Structure 1
Amino acid sequence: MTDAATLESQAEQALVPTPNEDDLPRRLSNFATFGDALDYAARGKRGLNFHDPRGTLKRVYPYSELREDALGMARRLIAHGIRKGDRVALIAETGPEFAALFCGCVYAGAWPVPLPLPTSFGGKDAYVDQLAVQLASSDPKVLFYPEEIAGLSHPAAERQGCEGMSFQDLAARPAPDCDLPQADPDDISYLQYSSGSTRFPHGVAVTHASLLNNLAGHGEGMKLIESDRCVSWLPWYHDMGLVGCFLSPIANQVSADYLKTEDFARRPLAWLDMVSRNPGTTLSYSPTFGYDICARRISSQSNVTERFDLSRWRIAGNGADMIRPDVMQGFVNAFAPAGFKASAFLPSYGLAEATLSVTIMPPGEGIRVELVEEERLSGTARDLSRPARYRAIVNCGKAVKDMELAILDGNGKALGDHQIGKVWCRGPSVMVGYFRDPEATEACMVPGDDGKGAWLDTGDMGYMVDGYLFIVGRAKDMIIINGKNHWPQDIEWAVEQLPGFNHGDIAAFSVETDSGEESVAVLVHCRVSDPEERQRLHDTIRDKVRSILGHPAIVELVPPRTLPRTSSGKLSRAKAKKQYLSGEIEPIKLAA
């Protein structure tokens, strides 16, 4: 008699992922609404594929099945009283339940609002607080969540006064026939909260027309081919994961394989295993830290040629944070023996306020850098008494379809090539504004005087060269001490070069001292337990930072995993500063 485990194993072996190639002619997101895009994708054989923590295929979900489930969810939502224009908050777990409910909201004319899953840091209260703040901003009728985190999600819904319900409870309800509302291209398709929007959240309102225009730019910029397949571990509550790796595959008819973000964090090399198993060509994006983690997990004794085949990885996208050329080179060094090509790297730049993509590097050009003097980056005069220091600035590519770029100085004057200023963009995929926040919208959007739409202040500093964009850093992150400008990442990256540190172990920001003067504070994860070794480490870091700044700084060692991150995994300097000043981050006491 066959036992249950054997039957389950046989069922897993019988799973066949959705194909790369299909007879359905590919349309690069040229649809009026996202519902139209899913309707078209459902006519083919491609779809979504979900994998377990080891990268084993667990669920095949063709777009035809997704559409059927989404229409059922739309009818359930309408029967539950959801109307066109209502907000529906969804905890964005990577899986078929969220996918069906997100698309169901779109069919029902409601605005899905993807919100983050709980993370390993911060604790229950911090997560409930974050959800409650974002619920207060989006004002949804219902919050839907995975049943297993009801104890975390439901209290946030109760605090805000909205209904809370699990995905499973909604799916068990009847789906009576009804007329679905007609969508218009200028209707809002969803609300997107940026990764840092916790205390003062800004819901980015994205129309169908904006979404589809950006997804078309995405598909055209990557020069999609028939054999392409998306492989992703990125969270669906962040714009790069939601738009780039969930909505884009649907609108551009690409099959996709998913590893949950938390599973990637535990077993990052499962990501590369999935890339290796793809018989076609792979499209896969990651912030810098994802490549860094994988390179660090490979020891010198590992035989990467036996485990991985990365020769068909056509586009290895980089985005969501500052791109580190040294980290990318480390990844190439580790995985070139497995067939990975440096030319596969595809740097890009984007933000939720532009739906996603602003610039994409032309495929095949890889990572190109310029060495720029730090004085020019900070806009200060060169100190001839000190040796010149340089930072490698990564080329983030050219503007996507229909997007315009401008580099402006502090007075709004357009700057020429190689001149650093504020990065502005405009195009059909730029948001219509922040939800119910006209003041914040007005602060970052300026109507054009030529009738071509509003310009968006991205908040980033950069420069152009021959149509390519180079990003220098976030304007708000710049540290100004005694009239001299410093970029925090220059300090952080320099300290990371010391032995024993990982990407994201250091946070630098300005603080006001007891005397009322501004100073630089540098918080550093410390994994050393011996008191004398800690003191030596502190002194080494102090000397390193002083060599960069030209003056002393406050250096604090803090326990590992103390520095906060945004929902996309980026270091949150603003939150680190707030927690440090409030005493929530307690530095390690050094020996007297």
Structure 2
Amino acid sequence: MTNIAAAASGDTLVGPQGYCTLTGALDYAAGSANAMNFYSGKGELQEALSYPDLREQSMTLARHLLASGLKAGDRVGVVAETDGDFARAFFACQYAALVPAPLPLPAALGGRSQYVEHVHGMLASIGATALLAPATLIDWLEEPCSDLPLRFCGTLAQLRTLPAGSDDLPEVDANALAYLQFSSGSTRFPQGVAVTHRAVIANIGAIARYGLEIGPDDRCVSWLPFYHDMGLVGFLLTPLCCAIPVDFIATREFARRPLTWLQLISRNRGTLSYSPSFGYELCARRAENGAPDGLDLSSWRAAGIGGDMVRPAPLHAFAERFAGSGFRADAFVPSYGMAEAALALSFSPAGRALRVDVLDIDALERNDRAEPAAADATRSRSFVFCGPILPGHAVEVRGENGEALAERQIGRILVRGPSLMKEYFARPDETERVMLAGGWLDTGDLGYLADGEIVITGRAKDLIIVNGRNILPQDLEWTAEGEVAALRSGDVAAFSVNDEAGERVVVLFECRSNDPDLRDAIGAEVAGVLRTRHGVHADVVPVPPRALPQTSSGKLSRAKARQLYLKGAFESVRAA
């Protein structure tokens, strides 16, 4: 079979059939015997779904969907369990010319009532006319979603009991919507990012040819959720488009047994796998007493980092912890992307160790300049280079008035190219807000360009502005987590409020102790560190473990944390 990376050309993947749709991709992949392999948290193979079988079963299910009264372009919510049924449901929608919208699992959103309300809102926002869910969740969702105009609501097993149409499946247009990817919702309710076939195929082509240089001997391993763009596009669709094998474990199983991820890479000789920084940190922490016997990570040639800000310290710790297991630090591939661009926008060059820019914090906060820190600087912060923009795409950094900025000047990141979304589905005002003249997308991210590479410094909406200083919240968070022994990565949220007490910085920290004296001591230590290192006087507030709100993709939601704080949600903890 032709190597898809070598066959990529321009903005379109060109396989033996010259395809530019996801159905064409699976038709191509079905010429291979490779498979999607689903494993338990203990590393036991539960299902091997070959690409030929996926194609045949998806086409059959597509006829059942169309016979239920659904029509081309209808939206279908699909609860994204990490199993073969999600892949079947997703591609059944593709062959039926329907538009699947992957939905999160309860583990990402808290309790039952909150989950049901959230999913109901997602389905209503896109005008869904069908819902496919695993048997374990359909009882939760069936009654609450009964007020929606759903022609079908059930499991794939229930769908198979319905009559199947005998008509030919519809022609799939490359310019039609392939799926709706809900945004992470870190600053607002998730919106449906409308991605066309042509856009996602263009992005996968650029990933395969330029970003990761995928070849026929590569093998992917992933624990990333299918309702997130890195899990869906990066590790469900990209391996399929390249007709290479991929091994999955569920996200919740990774959280319980993170080293299973590494053991699968070792056992199956995985070459490509990704994680946000916290995944590497969790593995290093679990292996504090030593890596598992026989672990061999020498095959892992691209250990990608994405999905959130790239944190150098956890990556250095991981590389040190697993060097004896054959892991090479130059395998790290920091990258940058977002659902609004299908997935990826940049990759650091393969085989290069992490390139870190150590910046002078005063210049960053006062002048929006990325100036290298002096060797004896007392206030500095490290940021990671994420590589040049992918070929066929363009990037600019712009100032407050929309002017293009020079290298090392910090501003808003704008991008354009063939991978960009069509719109936020049914949200014209929000679409107009980010899709600018000339085809540019305002990513909402802050950063700068240096030596032609992208460096991300934070989110514009999260920026803390106090006394003329532009303070990055993660700068405060990482300092507290790194210098206060009682805190771990992800334990701190920083934001600003402007209320009757004036404009001030608030820092929440998760405390695992019920001892009020210990809570007070940790809070005082956090406040002292932030005063000393950043000259920031913060209102430091303890919160219970796992109280800091996260998006469905696992990112800290500072906007939600701020809302909870202003509602007094944490006052009882502080007063206890």
In the alignment, is the contact (CA less than 8 A) between 1:187 and 1:207 conserved in 2? yes
2: CA distance between counterparts of 1:463 and 1:172? 55
2: CA distance between counterparts of 1:470 and 1:501? 27
Q: Say if 2:429 is the partner of 1:442.
A: no
Q: Which amino acid aligns with 1:70?
A: S
Q: 1:538 to 1:491 in 2, by over 3 A?
A: same
Aligned to 1:544: 529
2: CA distance between counterparts of 1:156 and 1:578? 26
Equivalent in 158, 168, 173 of residue 157 of structure 2:
168
Equivalent in 245, 254, 257 of residue 255 of structure 1:
245
Q: 1:586 to 1:161 in 2, by over 3 A?
A: farther
1: CA distance between counterparts of 2:416 and 2:368? 32
Q: Deviations over 1:317-352 (max 9, x none)?
A: 000111110110010111111010000000000011
Aligned to 1:15: none
Q: 1:324 to 1:244 in 2, by over 3 A?
A: same
Q: Say if 2:384 is the partner of 1:394.
A: yes
Q: Say if 2:355 is the partner of 1:365.
A: no
Q: Say if 2:318 is the partner of 1:331.
A: yes
Aligned to 1:568: 553
2: CA distance between counterparts of 1:431 and 1:120? 25
Aligned to 1:463: 448
In the alignment, is the contact (CA less than 8 A) between 1:321 and 1:570 conserved in 2? yes
Q: Say if 2:284 is the partner of 1:290.
A: no
Q: 1:511 to 1:24 in 2, by over 3 A?
A: same
Aligned to 1:60: 48
Q: Say if 2:451 is the partner of 1:472.
A: no
1: CA distance between counterparts of 2:368 and 2:27? 58
Aligned to 2:567: 582
Deviation at 1:152, TM superposition (A): 2.4
Deviation at 1:563, TM superposition (A): 0.7
Deviation at 1:82, TM superposition (A): 1.0
Match runs of 1:87-236 below 5 Å? 87-119=75-107, 122-162=110-150, 163-196=152-185, 200-220=189-209, 221-236=211-226
Equivalent in 246, 254, 258 of residue 264 of structure 1:
254
In the alignment, is the contact (CA less than 8 A) between 2:179 and 2:194 conserved in 1? yes
- Worse overlay, 111-120 or 207-216: 111-120
Q: 1:25 to 1:394 in 2, by over 3 A?
A: closer
Q: 1:536 to 1:107 in 2, by over 3 A?
A: same
Q: Deviations over 1:473-515 (max 9, x none)?
A: 1011100112222110011001101113221110001112433
Q: Deviations over 1:12-35 (max 9, x none)?
A: xxxxxxxxxxx4544443222110
1: CA distance between counterparts of 2:318 and 2:312? 10
Q: Deviations over 1:274-308 (max 9, x none)?
A: 011123x51000001100100010123x254x241
Deviation at 1:186, TM superposition (A): 0.7
3-state SS of paired residue (1:417)? coil
1: CA distance between counterparts of 2:343 and 2:506? 32
Q: Say if 2:341 is the partner of 1:354.
A: yes
Deviation at 1:159, TM superposition (A): 4.4
Deviation at 1:432, TM superposition (A): 1.3
Q: Say if 2:516 is the partner of 1:528.
A: no
3-state SS of paired residue (2:364)? helix
Q: Which amino acid aligns with 1:579?
A: L
Deviation at 1:196, TM superposition (A): 1.4
1: CA distance between counterparts of 2:253 and 2:291? 23
Q: Which amino acid aligns with 1:229?
A: R
Equivalent in 457, 471, 475 of residue 490 of structure 1:
475
3-state SS of paired residue (2:520)? helix
- Worse overlay, 336-345 or 177-186: 177-186
1: CA distance between counterparts of 2:256 and 2:325? 22
Q: Which amino acid aligns with 2:495?
A: F
In the alignment, is the contact (CA less than 8 A) between 1:559 and 1:587 conserved in 2? no
Q: Deviations over 1:397-418 (max 9, x none)?
A: 1112311111111112111211
In the alignment, is the contact (CA less than 8 A) between 2:109 and 2:115 conserved in 1? no
1: CA distance between counterparts of 2:429 and 2:26? 35
Deviation at 1:176, TM superposition (A): 3.3
Q: Which amino acid aligns with 1:492?
A: E
2: CA distance between counterparts of 1:196 and 1:168? 32
TM-score (norm 2): 0.93
Q: 1:493 to 1:25 in 2, by over 3 A?
A: closer
Q: 1:25 to 1:478 in 2, by over 3 A?
A: closer
Q: Deviations over 1:536-591 (max 9, x none)?
A: 21211111122244242110111111111111111111111112222334552357
Q: 1:366 to 1:444 in 2, by over 3 A?
A: same
In the alignment, is the contact (CA less than 8 A) between 1:287 and 1:319 conserved in 2? yes
In the alignment, is the contact (CA less than 8 A) between 1:564 and 1:571 conserved in 2? yes
In the alignment, is the contact (CA less than 8 A) between 1:535 and 1:590 conserved in 2? no
2: CA distance between counterparts of 1:197 and 1:588? 24
2: CA distance between counterparts of 1:69 and 1:476? 44
In the alignment, is the contact (CA less than 8 A) between 1:534 and 1:590 conserved in 2? no
Q: Deviations over 1:103-158 (max 9, x none)?
A: 01011111111111111652111111211111111111011111111232224422
Aligned to 1:408: 398
2: CA distance between counterparts of 1:158 and 1:288? 40
2: CA distance between counterparts of 1:584 and 1:255? 47
3-state SS of paired residue (2:358)? strand
Between the two proteins, the alignment pairs up a number of residues equal to: 558
Deviation at 1:161, TM superposition (A): 4.3
Deviation at 1:210, TM superposition (A): 0.3
1: CA distance between counterparts of 2:128 and 2:331? 41
Q: Deviations over 1:189-211 (max 9, x none)?
A: 11111111795332111111101
Q: 1:369 to 1:155 in 2, by over 3 A?
A: farther
2: CA distance between counterparts of 1:155 and 1:519? 45
Deviation at 1:533, TM superposition (A): 2.1
Unmatched segments (≥5 aa) in structure 2:
370-375
1: CA distance between counterparts of 2:327 and 2:336? 23
Match runs of 1:299-310 below 5 Å? 299-300=288-289, 302-304=290-292, 306-310=293-297
Q: Which amino acid aligns with 2:515?
A: D
Aligned to 1:507: 493
2: CA distance between counterparts of 1:462 and 1:529? 40
2: CA distance between counterparts of 1:381 and 1:446? 23
2: CA distance between counterparts of 1:286 and 1:40? 28
Q: Which amino acid aligns with 1:319?
A: G
Q: Deviations over 1:164-220 (max 9, x none)?
A: 212321133343321111111111111111111795332111111101000001111
3-state SS of paired residue (2:204)? helix
Aligned to 1:10: none
3-state SS of paired residue (1:564)? coil
- Worse overlay, 494-503 or 237-246: 494-503
Deviation at 1:425, TM superposition (A): 0.4
Q: Which amino acid aligns with 1:429?
A: S
2: CA distance between counterparts of 1:82 and 1:264? 36
